[in-house]
Structure 1
Amino acid sequence: MKRPAPSTTAQKRQDLREHMAQRVLRYLWWILLLVAGIQLFNILHALVYTGWRLHTPASRVYVLLYACLLVVSLLGLACVPFLKRSLPRSAGLTLWLQWIYCGFLLCWAVMVTLYDQRVGPGAETYLTVLLTVAVLAELPPVPAAVLLGVPQIALMLALPYYQPTKQDNFGLYLNSTVLAAVAIFIACYRYLSQKRQHEGAQLILEKNREIAEKNRELMYLVGHDSLTGLYNRRFLDLRLPAICADCAEHGKHLGMMMIDIDDFKLYNDQFGHQMGDACLDQVSQALLGCLQSEGEYILRYGGEEFLYLGSGADTAAVRRRGEEMCAAVRALALHAAGKPSPVTVSIGACAAVPQDKSAWQTLIRRADQALYTAKHQGKDQVVCDTGEGR
């Protein structure tokens, strides 16, 4: 069985710690507040019961125990805002402080239970705290066994020394041990259930991220030419109607250029398809490098043809961009055998303010006709259609 990568395992453990720490901080503050409130009530009750004198040793011991738990609970409350602000860095510290508080609370319950033996057998306080910790705390199996098991052992060992008369503690030992075992089981079950639930949620998130990434890759492949990386003709259906509608709404020109590599068949026949593909790629990158604004796009229209779109580009701007593209392709200095001049492009251009979102089809036809004119006038040039519809 293949083990997961250490970094992945460590990251999952850290994610689990952060999740558990968030749960602890979400509920711990009101638990601490409840415990502090109960201890404050117990202190006031003891003071009122003794006429504010605490004249008996028992009253002073109980008030001291109540006060200790009150102070520790208030300190815990004071730490909660800091721990929340420090997440996820404080995740490990949060869990450790929770375990320390649970250990202190159980030890406190053992001491109260032992002191209660002077008036009669029983372990109600300890058992209540034991089950409360098991139900509310986030305890992994090992800390749960230690925190819930050690106080039980300590109580059983110390109980006879705090009873004024010899008692038969078998029933108490049996019941408290069974409850301690149940408490450990509850704590472990809750923790492992939370762990499985968190891991399941993380797995779903991871799968969703993978699906989203695959969808992005698929959308890219569907909308882009595999050879040049440029947009393909699907761009016309997916984006161009919206661009055209925006230009129509705001009264902006939409410039278009049909760009065709001159004598590409000669180059392809001379050097082969691989060199032909390399030529297409280099020309496409040269054309792409001429774009200067977010409203400009270059598409591979098909074969050795490219399409330029310029939102906000009028006839003069389109002509300038076309001249730049012709110069950029000439600068590549790609020569075909038997031809002294480098590979060039012919460009047919037009620009107009669209009347509606479907006007781009007319612009493409006009640009294509201008390209036909550029080819018949000697190639390596820009011909602009300046007819009606601008």
Structure 2
Amino acid sequence: MKRPAPSTTAQKKQDLREHMAQRVLRYLWWILLLVAGIQLFNILHALVYTGWRLHTPASRVYVLLYACLLVVSLLGLACVPFLKRSLPHSAGLTLWLQWIYCGFLLCWAVMVTLYDQRVGPGAETYLTVLLTVAVLAELPPVPAAVLLGVPQIALMLALPYYQPTKQDNFGLYLNSTVLAAVAIFIACYRYLSQKRQHEGAQLILEKNREIAEKNRELIYLVGHDSLTGLYNRRFLDLRLPAICADCAEHGKHLGMMMIDIDDFKLYNDQFGHQMGDACLDQVSQALLGCLQSEGEYILRYGGEEFLYLGSGADTAAVRRRGEEMCAAVRALALHAAGKPSPVTVSIGACAAVPQDKSAWQTLIRRADQALYTAKHQGKDQVVCDTVEGR
């Protein structure tokens, strides 16, 4: 099911969170699997290197660090399917857990780097993790500055205490600080670029939805009468040839009725155009309420005239429907001009099996002639042209 277009700032923020969470979950599985695999390899390597005894303190410390990262990565792997199933509700939780994992990973890298100072200066593990997080994680500017900046400060403060002899760390401090600043820039640039790209895509989608809605409105207005909401005469050009061709192909009758409100000009003259419009609207709704199948249509043909189309409706069916329409209009009890009786309609009807898709024009002419007869026979009645194939 498609979601509605975001219309408020809060909705747009939520939509951006969902987008970022989807990106995280798309790649997180493989990243966690790779990290877990590397730590498993490191543990096995340490075990083999020490003859499966871990007899030195250093080997035990390293294995403990590897095991911690392995366990956390496996827990992350276990959470991924749940987070995917729970979207979009888990979008905020997904991003929050990603930040926690990135923070843990960087703290882990700092601890490994500090412990490595026993054998020599260097920060390769920390710098590798720092740049990896910057390149792969989805971090907004503030979390990026905190997650990538705080470990750098902690490393610089703690480094001298883990070095067995006094070292000149100026070069390491400078290089790592520059790389930390670059990492923060990369993370912010990636996030803001994704945000702009997503917002641009959403804007295009919103504009496309607006255009589609306007097109639907225009199509509706082109094909419908603005006063009554019924189909207008354009329906004849757009749909009637296809309906006629379908009836011809399957040997079905096509029924038509020309419907005219009796003495409508007098009604307009006596009550005014506003009341006349109200009369047209009420009559049209009464006629529309008589339709009972998908193959039936009612159109405003022009002025006070309406046109009925019935796919599969033979002469008996159109006569029956016409009498129902006459009764429905009488039941409105609209006061007619110059007489105590209610507003009525006269109906001319015909039905035939069309020979081709253009036969509807002949049917309309026959129905119009039958309407003329109904008018001259006293109005408020249905007259059917029963001559088949004429």
Q: Per the shorter chain, which TM-score range? A: over 0.9
Shift of 1:2: 30
Q: 8 Å contact 2:112–2:125 — kept in the other structure?
A: yes
Q: Secondary structure at the match of 2:351?
A: strand
Q: 8 Å contact 1:270–1:336 — kept in the other structure?
A: no
CA distance in 1, matches of 2:385, 2:5: 62
Quote the sequence identity (%): 99
* Pairs aligned (count): 390
Q: 8 Å contact 1:259–1:347 — kept in the other structure?
A: yes
Shift of 1:129: 0.1
Aligned to 1:91: 91
Aligned to 2:367: 367
CA distance in 2, matches of 1:49, 1:293: 84
Worse-matched range after superposition: 224-233 or 329-338: 329-338
Aligned to 2:321: 321
What's the CA shift string for 1:167-216, capped at 9, x where partnerless?
00000000000000000000000000000011001100000110011011
What's the CA shift string for 1:104-123, capped at 9, x where partnerless?
00000000000000010000
CA distance in 1, matches of 2:324, 2:236: 24
CA distance in 1, matches of 2:337, 2:232: 30
Q: 8 Å contact 2:5–2:206 — kept in the other structure?
A: no
Shift of 1:4: 17
Aligned to 1:58: 58
Shift of 1:6: 12
Structure 1 residues 165 and 202, CA, compared in 2 at 3 Å: closer, same or farther?
same
CA distance in 2, matches of 1:50, 1:2: 58
Structure 1 residues 7 and 241, CA, compared in 2 at 3 Å: closer, same or farther?
closer
CA distance in 2, matches of 1:178, 1:146: 16
Structure 1 residues 22 and 300, CA, compared in 2 at 3 Å: closer, same or farther?
same
Shift of 1:24: 0.3
CA distance in 2, matches of 1:219, 1:309: 21
Shift of 1:258: 0.4
Shift of 1:7: 7.2
Q: 8 Å contact 1:46–1:59 — kept in the other structure?
A: yes
Q: Secondary structure at the match of 2:256?
A: strand
Task: Verify: 1:255 aligned to 2:255, yes or no.
Answer: yes
CA distance in 1, matches of 2:106, 2:337: 91
CA distance in 2, matches of 1:324, 1:289: 10
CA distance in 2, matches of 1:3, 1:387: 56
CA distance in 2, matches of 1:6, 1:311: 43
Q: 8 Å contact 1:257–1:349 — kept in the other structure?
A: yes
What's the CA shift string for 1:226-248, capped at 9, x where partnerless?
11111000000111111112222
CA distance in 2, matches of 1:297, 1:6: 38
Worse-matched range after superposition: 247-256 or 368-377: 247-256
**Could you state the TM-score of these two structures normalised by the residue count of structure 1?**
0.97
Structure 1 residues 8 and 290, CA, compared in 2 at 3 Å: closer, same or farther?
same
Structure 1 residues 203 and 331, CA, compared in 2 at 3 Å: closer, same or farther?
same
Q: 8 Å contact 1:110–1:151 — kept in the other structure?
A: yes
Q: Secondary structure at the match of 1:334?
A: coil
CA distance in 1, matches of 2:2, 2:20: 28
Shift of 1:336: 3.0
**Could you state the TM-score of these two structures normalised by the residue count of structure 2?**
0.97
CA distance in 1, matches of 2:80, 2:175: 35
List gaps (5 residues or longer) in structure 1.
none
Shift of 1:355: 1.9
What's the CA shift string for 1:39-69, capped at 9, x where partnerless?
1111111111111111111111111111110
CA distance in 2, matches of 1:25, 1:118: 38
Q: Alignment RMSD, CA only? A: 3.1
Aligned to 2:224: 224
What's the CA shift string for 1:17-47, capped at 9, x where partnerless?
0000000000111000010111111111111
Divergent runs of 4+, >4 A: 1-7
Shift of 1:337: 3.7
What's the CA shift string for 1:122-143, capped at 9, x where partnerless?
0000000000000000000110
CA distance in 2, matches of 1:33, 1:248: 66
Aligned to 2:292: 292
Structure 1 residues 149 and 47, CA, compared in 2 at 3 Å: closer, same or farther?
same
CA distance in 2, matches of 1:241, 1:2: 35
